[in-house]
Amino acid sequence: MAKLTLHKQTLANMQEICSWFKAKSNEFQHPIYSSYDIRDSGYKISNVDANIFPAGFNNICPTDKETSVSLMNKYIIEHYGEKIKKILLVTEEHTNNAFYWENVFTIKSLIEASSIEVKVAIPRELEQPMQITSSAGNEITVHSALMSGSLMKEFKPDLIISNNDFSEAYEEWAKTVTEFPMNPPRELGWYQRKKSTYFKYYNQLVKEFSAIAKIDPFLMTVETELFEHFDIGDENSRAALAARVDAMLAHLKAEYQKRGITQEPFVFVKNNAGTYGLAVIRVGSGAEVKEWSYKSRKKMKAAKGGRDVEEVIIQEGIPSIVESDGASAEPVIYMIGSELAGGFLRTHSEKSSTESLNSPGAVYKRLCVSDLAINTPGCPQENVYGWTAKLGLLAIAHEARELKAEFKGYK
């Protein structure tokens, strides 16, 4: 089992691994928070998605929420100093997802616990503040983040924390708030961020980590290829994609056979930018791509905000052996800065172990990373999943540097 091998090797080489991670993380600036979807197939454990603007803080383990208060305060003081007294939390514009707003309420509460004043706002005009009720019944007042609005005339934030994933660039708004530091920076938004870049760095870091932990990098990598100039309406484009899918499947089959793995390989075709599980389809052959139904083609045509899907990645499918109450599950790990902050299991009773679980109907179950502080040797899954997330954090830091994302005011 990959988990037991990885757990054993990280424990045996913990001092060297921690020194390596600290040295690497000190080279970079890190976003205030991030989250990682992880798949555990038994024969490998890998990161399959990373979010720099996470929308599920409400789902993390209750014990983790308690410890996240001090982590949030530590991050703010360490990187911005004691002067931070007012924070503007800029969120998504959609108002009909009560669970998203419970996430916003949770982030707001984590910050306010350190006696910092927090106002919630969206980057567009509002005639007057909106009152929104979260899924847990918590009331949130949402203001306009435009400089012309009444809030910004009176409330001068020391820091803007963004929980809007910037699928839309909001360039005009961004020009008006340049005097304020923003974290995560807008430049890390999906209007320009690419999954192919993230996974390029992630897999490189796995190789470095594996050399120190003395493991086969296969145990943690996820094969990922970029397919450019994607046009779902063009038969030639779909045929070219199908050929690339078949080539990756053949490569994966050979790799699996070398290691005695009987799993029949499959891949996911994913939009190269975007989140919420949109524009993601599982395929088991190139023929499936050529035969995509109208429903499948429609799914791959547009992502969040109606943006056309112009690039996709072809990514190794990793089945999940993790279950909760008989349902397929996958771990999700949240980080604050470079430290593990929280976790949960995303479960879906209507999805199989080889399908994407990030879809409507998902249910969230307990997984606490805070247990590691009590008994690291006795927490193999939290330890291994945690290191997968930490490698993801370093990959995001590399992305930020490549995108020239500015962490204004960050120490």
Q: Are residues 322 and 304 in the same domain?
A: no
pLDDT over threshold 70, residue 86: yes
Residue 195 lies in a domain: no
Mean pLDDT for the chain? 93
Neighbours of 329 (CB within 10 A): 26
How high is the pLDDT of residue 131? 96
Question: Looking at residue 280, which CATH number applies to its domain?
Answer: 3.30.1490.20
How high is the pLDDT of residue 394? 98
Q: What does the pLDDT look like over 340-362, one tens digit per residue? A: 999 999 999 888 888 888 887 88
How high is the pLDDT of residue 1? 81
Q: What percent of the chain has pLDDT over 90?
A: 79
Query: What is the band of 277 on the pLDDT scale with cuts at 50, 70, 90?
Result: low
CB 2 within 8 A of CB 40: yes
What mean pLDDT is predicted for residues 72-77? 98
Residue 205 lies in a domain: no
Range list of H helices, 138-293 = 150-154, 171-176, 195-213, 235-258, 286-290
From 317, 351, 372, give the residue that closes a domain.
317
Query: What is the band of 332 on the pLDDT scale with cuts at 50, 70, 90?
Result: very high
For 123-197, strand residue ranges (E) read 130-133, 139-144, 159-162, 182-183
In the structure, how many helices (H) and strands (E) does the chain have? 11, 16
DSSP state of 129: P
Q: Which two tokens stand for residue 186?
A: 């807008």
Q: Cβ contacts of residue 241 below 8 Å, gap of 6+? A: 227, 230, 269, 286, 289, 312, 314
- Domain residues for the domain of 291 are 223-317
Q: Are residues 299 and 372 in the same domain?
A: no
What mean pLDDT is predicted for residues 89-113? 95
pLDDT over threshold 90, residue 330: yes
Q: What does the pLDDT look like over 232-273, one tens digit per residue? A: 888 999 999 999 999 999 999 999 999 999 999 999 999 998
Q: Are residues 340 and 263 in the same domain?
A: no
Q: Are residues 92 and 169 in the same domain?
A: yes
Q: Are residues 248 and 288 in the same domain?
A: yes
Query: What is the band of 189 on the pLDDT scale with cuts at 50, 70, 90?
Result: very high
How high is the pLDDT of residue 306? 61
Q: Annotate 251-268 with DSSP letters as a single string.
A: HHHHHHHHTT--PPP-EE
* Comparison of pLDDT for 356 and 83, the residue scoring more: 83
From 292, 317, 342, give the residue that closes a domain.
317
In this predicted structure, which of 323-327, 368-372, 374-378 has the lowest mean pLDDT?
Answer: 374-378
Interatomic CA distance for residues 155 and 49, integer angstroms: 36
From 188, 210, 239, give the residue that closes a domain.
188
Distance of CA 128 to the CA centre of its chain: 33
Residue 211 lies in a domain: no
Q: What does the pLDDT look like over 281-306, one tens digit per residue? A: 999 999 999 988 877 777 777 666 56
Q: Annotate 62-108 with DSSP letters as a single string.
A: HHHHHHHHHHHHHHHHHHH-TT--EEEEE--S--S-HHHHHHHHHHH
Q: Are residues 109 and 177 in the same domain?
A: yes
Q: Are residues 32 and 66 in the same domain?
A: no
CA-closest candidate to residue 49, choices 399, 392, 400: 392
pLDDT over threshold 70, residue 378: yes
Q: Are residues 78 and 181 in the same domain?
A: yes
Residue 363 lies in a domain: yes
What mean pLDDT is predicted for residues 365-381? 83
Residue 117 lies in a domain: yes
Q: Which two tokens stand for residue 14?
A: 């913990």
Residue 214 lies in a domain: no
Task: State how many domains the chain has.
Answer: 3
Q: Are residues 350 and 242 in the same domain?
A: no
Q: What does the pLDDT look like over 308-322, one tens digit per residue? A: 788 999 999 999 999
